Structure 1
Amino acid sequence: MTKGEPAVTDIVTFGGFDKKELLKLAASAERGSEHPLAQAVVKKAKAENLEVIEPKNFKTISGMGVSSEYKGKVVMIGNQLFMEKEGIKVDEAASEVGRLRNEAKTVVYVAYDKKVVGCIALADTLKEYSVAAIQALKKRGKEIIMITGDNEQTALAIGKQLGIDKVYANVLPEKKEELIESIKKEGKVVAFVGDGINDSPALAKSDLGIAVGSGTDVAIETGEIILVRDDLRDVVTAIDLSKKTIYKIWQNFFWAFVYNTVAIPVAAGLHLVFTRHGGVPADWVVSLAGIFEFIPAVGHGVSSVWINLSQSALRPEIAGFAMAFSSVSVVLNSLLLRLYKKPKFQ
């Protein structure tokens, strides 16, 4: 939904902690993480010409945050679930965090020595065509659900901007898989689009996993469809093209079935039971040939061809050619998919 290029927008401190010291503290701890939010904090610190040191005893807690040591004390940076899990009170930050979340910003808490000393707000921009892609999917009758590890206020704000039907927030990576399973139990067919390591279990559990090509290798390996471009409109294109492909498959099945149903009895001469009587053409065959005679210019020729075809079985070489033509017709019909045009977006 977003570009995955968040930037630090606000730094709030508590207990008289200096903003630059807080940023240096956070960046030093986040240096060991590859998460986009962590990289944004490190980038901000470097832009402020602050020293970002190598973290000691670095640990990452999936879906929650990171911890390390700084000057002999433990630094913890992450979401509210992480703080609560570690027994760290966040009441002092409630009003500021609420304000920032209402602005659709992601807030991470910074705790030092088991006490919240500040928080950092980050904002990401929506991908250029996210709204257009979601509108196109909704026009096709699809229900759009967003599953995110972000807090509820921020998730709802982004969901509102995009026109998403349902939002699940504060979802841990392992819970995404369970959530997908519960949606499937409602009788729904689930297609999941993801690009991160945390999305891999959900990609595997869904009926259709769509991985964004710019995402992690794990996500790409797990997905059944890989979007080469980082463009959500390609999700719509993939679904439309898949439907047309299935339609072509059924077309080929139908024509091959009809073709063989008609051609095989003719090749065996079974039609002669109906077109010949007493060694001569049946009355209805002769009557139809007479009608063909009235066709201007070619009537006599058509009539003669009709009589000959109705009174003879296919020669083996002609039957073989007809069988080969059946395969060629299927291939040619399939090649018509090359004429497929991508849907237009508003």
Structure 2
Amino acid sequence: GTLTEGRPTLTRVDVLGGGDENDLVRLAASLEQGSEHPLARAIVDAAKERGLTLANARNFESDSGRGVSGSVDGQRVLLGNAALMQAHDVHAADAEARAESRRGEGGTALLMAAGGRAVAVLVIEDPVKQSTAEALQRLRDDGLRLVVASGDGETTVKAVASRLGINEAHGGVQPADKAELVEKLRREGAVIAMAGDGVNDAPALASADVGIAMGTGTDIAMSSSQVTLVRGDLRGIARARELSQATVGNMRQNLGFALLYNALGIPIAAGVLYPFTGLLLNPMIAAAAMSLSSVSVVGNALRLAWRTPGA
């Protein structure tokens, strides 16, 4: 949801050893229909688009970090990774090899087993936002170091990162690990800006020097951040950075204006020129000069309102 659209879609079902694709999708969706997980919703939505009637799942179990299992139509259905299959004594070496190949293409691949054997690999993809590549290129052009960390599988994350030109990619990262990665980079002397959109990103967003939340993300992510991109467009990071740089530059200019007026005006008002020229500064002129100093500072600051970052 940070680099991608945040709308995962079931794009492929690799059926293993025979079986009907729609029936397998129906079983998977029946198992997942009570979940709010984005991948689960993608499977359920695919079943609805195909007009499939879902059954009730019984004995549903969620194994954190592995997947889910339950009974559908009288058979045990598993949906998750190789560790889940191994935990239930399902031989899935061929299925995992197929899944790893799909992950290398940038998709999230789930293994599915029914009746004690691997029956399919479900591939779910979340399209990269059209604006992401441009946003990352602008940040690279500014000399920033880009690192991606995601809870998705290592192969999938590296495939997406490679497509976007990001050399440092970490997959299978837990929330605490993301925060630790932020601290590790800080110990290397880096100033960290972290962008994220989910509950899992909240610890890292809070740990970063600048936390940037997607406006399309969760409330906890936004409450853990100092900056929120209302439309979830990563180009907003580059624009915010440019505007911040312009603001700091403007502050320095204003400080210079104020110092200049005072450095010139106060000595003249004190009569430093009187012994040489007989000139004394009229109080009215001094008051006008002081007002002009304030006007110049305010006017210079107002230029920021007309600035278009990136233009």
TM-score by length of 1: 0.78
Please tell me whether residue 92 in structure 1 is matched to residue 94 in structure 2. Answer: yes
Distance 1:118 1:27, change over 3 A: same
Distance 1:168 1:248, change over 3 A: same
CA distance in 1, matches of 2:203, 2:66: 17
**Aligned residue in 2 for 1:300:** none
Distance 1:324 1:98, change over 3 A: same
| SS, match of residue 97 in structure 1 | helix
CA distance in 1, matches of 2:115, 2:183: 39
**Aligned residue in 1 for 2:10:** 8
Distance 1:179 1:100, change over 3 A: same
**Aligned residue in 1 for 2:32:** 30
Please tell me whether residue 341 in structure 1 is matched to residue 303 in structure 2. Answer: no
Matches within 5 A, 1:55-66: 55-56=57-58, 65-66=67-68
CA distance in 2, matches of 1:241, 1:266: 37
Please tell me whether residue 52 in structure 1 is matched to residue 54 in structure 2. Answer: yes
Matches within 5 A, 1:1-346: 1-14=3-16, 18-53=20-55, 55-56=57-58, 65-70=67-72, 75-80=77-82, 90-111=92-113, 116-267=118-269, 269=270, 272=271, 274-277=272-275, 282=276, 285=277, 310=279, 312-315=280-283, 319-343=286-310
| SS, match of residue 335 in structure 1 | helix
Tell me if structure 1 keeps the 8 A contact 2:110–2:121: yes
One-letter code aligned to 2:221: A
Shift of 1:15: 6.3
CA distance in 2, matches of 1:235, 1:225: 9
| SS, match of residue 220 in structure 2 | helix
Tell me if structure 2 keeps the 8 A contact 1:30–1:42: yes
Shift of 1:61: 5.8
Shift of 1:106: 1.0
CA distance in 2, matches of 1:125, 1:238: 25
CA distance in 2, matches of 1:63, 1:246: 45
Tell me if structure 1 keeps the 8 A contact 2:55–2:72: no
Distance 1:263 1:52, change over 3 A: farther
Shift of 1:164: 1.0
CA distance in 1, matches of 2:54, 2:287: 76
CA distance in 2, matches of 1:324, 1:65: 69
| SS, match of residue 331 in structure 1 | helix
Tell me if structure 2 keeps the 8 A contact 1:32–1:58: no
One-letter code aligned to 2:182: I
Shift of 1:239: 0.9
Shift of 1:158: 1.3
Tell me if structure 1 keeps the 8 A contact 2:60–2:71: yes
Shift of 1:168: 0.8
Structure ID, larger Rg: 1
Shift of 1:28: 2.2
Identity, % of aligned pairs?
A: 38
| SS, match of residue 328 in structure 1 | helix
Which runs of 5 or more residues in structure 1 are unaligned? 286-306
Which runs of 5 or more residues in structure 2 are unaligned? none
Shift of 1:198: 1.5
| SS, match of residue 255 in structure 1 | helix
CA distance in 1, matches of 2:248, 2:66: 42
CA distance in 2, matches of 1:81, 1:182: 29
RMSD: 2.8
**Aligned residue in 2 for 1:304:** none
Distance 1:55 1:243, change over 3 A: farther
Shift of 1:336: 0.8
Tell me if structure 2 keeps the 8 A contact 1:266–1:314: no
Question: 1:174-232: CA deviations, max 9, x gaps?
Answer: 21111111111111111111112221111111111111111122222222111122322
Tell me if structure 2 keeps the 8 A contact 1:33–1:60: no
Q: How many correspondences in the alignment?
A: 309
CA distance in 1, matches of 2:90, 2:185: 34
Shift of 1:152: 2.1
